[in-house]
Chain A
Amino acid sequence: MKKNRRKVFMAAGYNTIALGTGRKEFNPRKPRPGLEDYIREAGQGTLKQIGGGANVDEGVISNFMAARFNRQGNLAALIPAIDESLRWKPCTRVEGACGSGGLGLVTAIKSVLAGTAEAVLAVGVEVQNTVKAIYGADILAGAGWYNGERKKGHAYFFPSLFSDRAGAYFEKYGREKTRRAFARWYRSAVENARLCETAQEFHNVCEDLEALGLTEPNPRSFVDHLNAYDCSKVSDAAAAIAVVSEEGLKRCGISKKDAVEILGWGQVEADLTAPPADLTELETSRRAVAKAFERSGIRRDELGTVECHDCFTISGLLSVEAIGFAGRGEGPDFILEGRTSRQGEIPFNTSGGLIGWGHPTGGTGVRQAVTIWQQLTGKAGKWQVEMPAKRPYALSVNMGGNDKTVVAVVYRRAS
């Protein structure tokens, strides 16, 4: 087991709101903030908490498809647009589809570990409401293997890949209970999001969420085994967080109680051109989590909260199994017993996750880190959950594509 050669912390997180359908401010016919506005808001939100950009050595920006959604490349050069003091500093843009954020975190962590930086500003962003969903589906399909998969793929390419996973799961473990677990997952996601004012579902007022979640899928207009409520929505958002060394904490004037320590992580890549061996398992995620546990030296039963990558209800369910809370085929029971809810033994996605909070694809990994930082340092406000003393650790799992690029990170409040 490799130990980190020095301590790495995260602090001063900032999430913009997740803008898209469901938010009262969202009107598809009216002008909205652009990519650079989101980057600036999130970046400045973090800089304000760390004494300004002068304290930052380096910048990392995570994004998936700005080149198509916003016709913008060279995103590293938008980091200096956050603050003048960032000009002339090293900046990097990383991309790993919806796992871009996780890659950004790891890139920043490695810089701090290498000693080439004491403080790194990590920003994640995606602005996707620039095109209709049917064209957005084309863009997001870039997370799959274009030459090998796109032509024979579905109009809604990614929902269909995960619909196939849901179908395989139904076949193996039964449909009825699994669909009920999906509906419960949706309900928990929205109920958590209603407590978090930056969440896309913050304004959701539906009374019977589980009934909505049980809407029969319509293969004619969408996919075979999932309905719209099984899917995360199209979101515009950015997130930022400072990744710092001990010296960086001091320089930025952040006390340890306001920071989380990174105990370990697992970064795993699968072959984009190889189909999953088993549709009913997130193998890459399982491997990434196992690595993260190994490197941090903690066990699953020491976790107090988890941010998982529930881009679809089925991916939420498969994450529960991949992390090992439930055995294969036992995820539906685990969810239906309420054990992943905010009152349950292991609260998942306490601000709504991808389905409730929103899914700004390339920014989600950073958003997850901010959520965990808020939760562990007592800054979660209405959506705060109690962290049991015996289970002080938190885990985030960020997945790119169909379980291809995965980063799992283990955190604890710094002391």
Chain B
Amino acid sequence: MTYADRLEKVAVLGAAGKMGSGIVLLAAMEMADLSLDSGQTPDKFALHAVDVSEAALAGLVKYLRDQVLRAAEKKTVWLRKAYESRNDLVENEEVIRQYVEDVLTIVRPGTRIEAAYDSTVVFEAVNENPDLKVRLLSEVKSRGARDTWFLTNTSSIPISELNDKVKLDGRIIGFHFYNPPAVQKLVELIRADSTLPELADFAAQFAKKLRKTVIPSHDVAGFIGNGHFMRDALYAASEVERLSPDFGLPGSIYVVNKVSQDFLIRPMGIFQLIDYVGLDVCQSILAVMNERLGGSPLRSPLIDRLVGLGVKGGQFADGSQKDGFLKYEKGRPAGVFDPDKKAYAPFTDIAPRCDERLGPPPTAVKPWKNVIQIPDRTGYLDGYFRELAGMDSLGADLAKRYGRKSKEIGLGLVRDRVAEREEDVNTVLLTGFYHAYGPVNPYFG
């Protein structure tokens, strides 16, 4: 079966979720492009977008319509060639509209998993819950076509474990997109020992056609991305505990978030990132990793406490941020949660005294969004971190400790054979988390 044949019948499980909807978008456009390349009509291709929520599926269709339109507007040069033989399509607008229609024709949204049975490729993007994943994969496996290939978007569960529990005989591979899949360049590709070589080739080709940056990760719970992120988050939580006698809980959350964003020049502070991913999602990932990995326990009483109080973060259906560790106004952090009072304390009450004790960041500081546009970024960062190294304010000390810890985590991932190379860890953080520099760096001594 060729690559194009394989993609004629596809299903996405969890299709209306944050990750699933992006996977539907990318897969459906790839399928439409294949049909255009081969001169076939798109009705030969079908993507069953399966999700438990009818309402979310309605949202998925709207999301797809908007996103395909935007994508089509960016690839009109190619689309005009692809629709060359269609004499009824003359103007860009006509070509773009046809493409949107063709992609949407391929997508068949529904709530019944039976729709996935005859698919030759199944993308799994349901909640990060091992039992749920095993149950759904088993159902499709036992009722579906014999040679179906499974690409799971799990960000933490070992692929070999899913393979064994579902008895897939190597018909599964980890294909971990970053959020949102349509935008983030990174895909972590995880082969179990038994993964079929043809499936690995297919996954590599699919990633290449999607123009993704592929980083292979070994099949260890959490892989590279969460392997770093979760430990980074746990470190931040432990710093909060260490600082809270002095700053109070809300104050120390504010302080650690600020240091990780402003002093370390990251796109968002660590607690904002946890909110973005969702505290409950982080909790599940930690649980998966903790159960499967030896060494120091991977759990956070602070996250557990907030989830227990119903503080979960994540996004609303329209993509806007829900409150978590932080409170958001027009998408920007504006307050911080106080678990004792079960209420948000506004930044205006907390920031002045905390900022004063932290001291200013290095004078060379620039916001992350400016730094990533500097042509000689390395030169700039060298100078910036040299200045940071020479400072002895509380803020500088916290930043240096944080930077050292982040590096230690990165090196640990190579040492523990999660990542093949230091460079892979850095690439994951640079492309999956949009950091301005990798964690394995010379900046923190």
A residues contacting B by CB (< 8 A) are 132, 134-135, 137-138, 141, 146, 150-151, 154-156, 219-222
Partner of A132, one of B73, B77, B80: B73
Q: Which A residue's beta carbon lies closest to that of B95? A: A155
Interface pair A135/B87, CB less than 8 Å apart: no
Contacts of A220 in B (CB 8 A): 77-78
CB distance from A341 to the nearest CB of B (A): 27
CA distance A156 to B76 in the complex (A): 9
What are 12 residue pairs bridging A and B, where the CB atoms are less than 8 Å apart in the complex?
A: A132-B73, A134-B73, A135-B92, A135-B93, A138-B93, A141-B91, A151-B90, A154-B77, A155-B76, A155-B80, A220-B78, A221-B74
B96 within 8 A of A: yes
CA distance A283 to B254 in the complex (A): 69
Interface pair A137/B77, CB less than 8 Å apart: no
Which chain B residues (85-137) contact chain A, with CB distance < 8 Å?
87, 90-93, 96
Interface pair A134/B90, CB less than 8 Å apart: no
What are the interface flags for B64-91 relative to A under an 8 Å C-beta threshold, 1 for contact and 0 otherwise? 0000000001101111100000010011
Interface pair A156/B77, CB less than 8 Å apart: yes
CA distance A129 to B92 in the complex (A): 17
Interface pair A155/B92, CB less than 8 Å apart: yes
Q: Which A residue's beta carbon lies closest to that of B73? A: A134
Interface pair B91/A222, CB less than 8 Å apart: no
Contacts of B90 in A (CB 8 A): 146, 150-151
Q: Which B residue's beta carbon lies closest to that of A151? A: B90
Looking at B92, B93, B96, which has the most chain A CB atoms within 10 Å of its CB?
B92
B residues contacting A by CB (< 8 A) are 73-74, 76-80, 87, 90-93, 96
CA distance A221 to B71 in the complex (A): 12
CA distance A154 to B76 in the complex (A): 9
CB distance from B275 to the nearest CB of A (A): 26
CB distance from B118 to the nearest CB of A (A): 36
Interface SS of chain B: helix, strand, loop or mixed?
helix
Contacts of A141 in B (CB 8 A): 91
Contacts of B87 in A (CB 8 A): 151
Interface pair B93/A155, CB less than 8 Å apart: no
Q: Which A residue's beta carbon lies closest to that of B72? A: A134
CA distance A219 to B79 in the complex (A): 13
CA distance A146 to B73 in the complex (A): 21
Q: Which A residue's beta carbon lies closest to that of B74? A: A221
Q: Please name the 7 residue pairs, one residue from A and one from B, whose CB atoms are nearest each other, closest first.
A: A155-B76, A138-B91, A155-B77, A138-B92, A134-B73, A151-B90, A155-B80
Contacts of B91 in A (CB 8 A): 138, 141, 150
CA distance A135 to B72 in the complex (A): 12
Interface pair B74/A137, CB less than 8 Å apart: no
Interface pair A221/B77, CB less than 8 Å apart: yes
Interface pair A134/B96, CB less than 8 Å apart: yes
CA distance A156 to B78 in the complex (A): 11
CA distance A134 to B79 in the complex (A): 12
Looking at B78, B79, B91, which has the most chain A CB atoms within 10 Å of its CB?
B91
CA distance A150 to B89 in the complex (A): 10
CA distance A294 to B74 in the complex (A): 48
Q: Which A residue's beta carbon lies closest to that of B87? A: A151
CA distance A151 to B80 in the complex (A): 9
CB distance from B418 to the nearest CB of A (A): 36
Q: Beyond the given A146-B90, A155-B79, A220-B77, could you list 12 further A-B residue pairs with CB under 8 A, ordered by the A residue number? A: A134-B92, A135-B92, A138-B92, A141-B91, A150-B91, A154-B80, A155-B76, A155-B77, A155-B80, A155-B92, A219-B77, A222-B77
CA distance A189 to B73 in the complex (A): 29
Contacts of A222 in B (CB 8 A): 77
CA distance A106 to B87 in the complex (A): 39
Q: Which B residue's beta carbon lies closest to that of A136? A: B92
CB distance from A243 to the nearest CB of B (A): 36
CB distance from B331 to the nearest CB of A (A): 15
Looking at B76, B77, B80, which has the most chain A CB atoms within 10 Å of its CB?
B77
CB distance from B23 to the nearest CB of A (A): 24
CA distance A135 to B69 in the complex (A): 12
CA distance A155 to B90 in the complex (A): 10
Contacts of A150 in B (CB 8 A): 90-91
Q: Which B residue's beta carbon lies closest to that of A150? A: B90
CB distance from B375 to the nearest CB of A (A): 11
Contacts of B80 in A (CB 8 A): 154-155
CB distance from A49 to the nearest CB of B (A): 42
Looking at A137, A138, A222, which has the most chain B CB atoms within 10 Å of its CB?
A138
CB distance from A209 to the nearest CB of B (A): 16
Q: Which B residue's beta carbon lies closest to that of A152? A: B84
Looking at A151, A155, A220, A221, which has the most chain B CB atoms within 10 Å of its CB?
A155
CB distance from B270 to the nearest CB of A (A): 31
CA distance A141 to B80 in the complex (A): 14
CB distance from B87 to the nearest CB of A (A): 7
Contacts of A156 in B (CB 8 A): 77
CA distance A138 to B90 in the complex (A): 9
Q: Which B residue's beta carbon lies closest to that of A138? A: B91
Contacts of A134 in B (CB 8 A): 73, 76, 92, 96
Q: Which A residue's beta carbon lies closest to that of B80? A: A155
CB distance from B247 to the nearest CB of A (A): 39
CB distance from B86 to the nearest CB of A (A): 9
Q: Which B residue's beta carbon lies closest to that of A135? A: B93
CA distance A132 to B74 in the complex (A): 11
CA distance A155 to B76 in the complex (A): 6
CA distance A222 to B74 in the complex (A): 10
CA distance A154 to B74 in the complex (A): 14
Contacts of A219 in B (CB 8 A): 77
Contacts of A137 in B (CB 8 A): 92
CB distance from B127 to the nearest CB of A (A): 35
Contacts of A135 in B (CB 8 A): 92-93
Looking at A134, A141, A150, A220, which has the most chain B CB atoms within 10 Å of its CB?
A134
Q: Which A residue's beta carbon lies closest to that of B94? A: A138
Q: Which B residue's beta carbon lies closest to that of A141? A: B91
Contacts of B92 in A (CB 8 A): 134-135, 137-138, 155
CA distance A156 to B95 in the complex (A): 13
CB distance from A267 to the nearest CB of B (A): 30
Q: Which A residue's beta carbon lies closest to that of B88? A: A151
Contacts of A146 in B (CB 8 A): 90
CA distance A132 to B70 in the complex (A): 11
CA distance A282 to B119 in the complex (A): 58
CB distance from B344 to the nearest CB of A (A): 30
Contacts of B79 in A (CB 8 A): 155
CA distance A155 to B96 in the complex (A): 11
CA distance A65 to B92 in the complex (A): 17
Contacts of B96 in A (CB 8 A): 134
Q: Which A residue's beta carbon lies closest to that of B75? A: A221
CA distance A150 to B74 in the complex (A): 19
Contacts of B73 in A (CB 8 A): 132, 134
Q: Which B residue's beta carbon lies closest to that of A223? A: B77
CB distance from B72 to the nearest CB of A (A): 9
CB distance from A130 to the nearest CB of B (A): 14
Q: Which B residue's beta carbon lies closest to that of A155? A: B76
CA distance A150 to B80 in the complex (A): 11
CB distance from B358 to the nearest CB of A (A): 33
CA distance A391 to B93 in the complex (A): 49
CA distance A380 to B90 in the complex (A): 44
Q: Which A residue's beta carbon lies closest to that of B96? A: A134
Contacts of A154 in B (CB 8 A): 77, 80
CA distance A159 to B171 in the complex (A): 49
CB distance from B59 to the nearest CB of A (A): 23
CA distance A222 to B75 in the complex (A): 9
CA distance A141 to B78 in the complex (A): 18
Contacts of A221 in B (CB 8 A): 74, 77
CA distance A222 to B91 in the complex (A): 16
CB distance from A363 to the nearest CB of B (A): 24
